[in-house]
Chains A and B, each alone.
Chain A
Amino acid sequence: MSQDRLLSADKNADSNDEVLQWVTYKLEDETYGINVMQVQEVLRYTEIAPVPGAPSYVLGIINLRGNVVTVIDTRARFGLMSAEVTDNSRIVIIEAEKQVIGILVDSVAEVVYLRSSEIDSAPNIGTEESAKFIQGVSNREGELLILVDLNKLLNDDEWDEVSHI
Chain B
Amino acid sequence: MSKHLFANEKVMKQYLGALLTEEPLQEEELAPVAKLLEQVQSVDEVVTDIEAEAVAPGLEVKTRIVDASETIDVVEEPQDIVELQAKNLEITENNTIIKEATETVNQSVSAREAYGEDEFQALFFEVAGLTLAVPLKSLGGIHQLGEINQLFGKPKWFKGVMLNREEKLNVVDTARWVMPEKFTAELEERLDYQYLITLGDSPWGLLAESLVNNITLQPDDVKWRTSDSKRPWLAGVIKKKMCALIDVDNLNRLLEQGLDSREQ
Contact = CB atoms under 8 A, between A and B. Distances in A.
B153 A124 contact: no
B123 interface: no
B170 A130 contact: no
A126 B163 contact: no
Given A123-B170, A125-B257, A126-B258, A137 B161 contact: yes
Given A125-B257, A126-B158, A126-B258, A139 B152 contact: no
B161 A144 contact: yes
B146 to A, nearest CB: 10
B78 interface: no
A142 interface: yes
B151 interface: yes
A30 interface: yes
A146 interface: yes
A15 B3 CA distance: 58
B149 A30 contact: yes
B153 A146 contact: no
Contacts of B149: 30, 137, 144, 146
Nearest to B152: A78
A158 to B, nearest CB: 16
Interface string B147-177: 0011111110010010100101010000000
A139 B154 contact: no
Contacts, number: 66
A133 interface: yes
A153 to B, nearest CB: 12
Nearest to A80: B152
Contacts of B256: 123-125
Interface in B247-264: 255-258
A134 interface: yes
Nearest to A127: B258
A79 B153 CA distance: 7
B163 A139 contact: yes
Given A80-B152, A131-B154, A137 B258 contact: no
A26 interface: no
B153 A129 contact: yes
Interface string A26-60: 00111000000000000000000000000000000
A146 B166 contact: no
Contacts of B151: 122-123, 134, 137, 146
Interface string B226-259: 0000000000000000000000000000011110
B155 A125 contact: yes
Contacts of A137: 149, 151, 161, 168
A126 B153 contact: yes
Interface in A42-97: 78-80
Nearest to B155: A126
A35 B154 CA distance: 22
Contacts of A139: 163, 166, 168
A128 B154 CA distance: 7
A124 B258 contact: yes
A89 B32 CA distance: 56
Interface of A: 28-30, 78-80, 120, 122-134, 137, 139, 142-144, 146
9 contacts: A79-B153, A122-B161, A123-B258, A125-B255, A126-B153, A128-B153, A129-B153, A130-B152, A130-B153
Given A125-B155, A125-B256, A134-B151, 7 more contacts: A123-B170, A125-B258, A126-B158, A127-B155, A130-B153, A131-B152, A144-B149
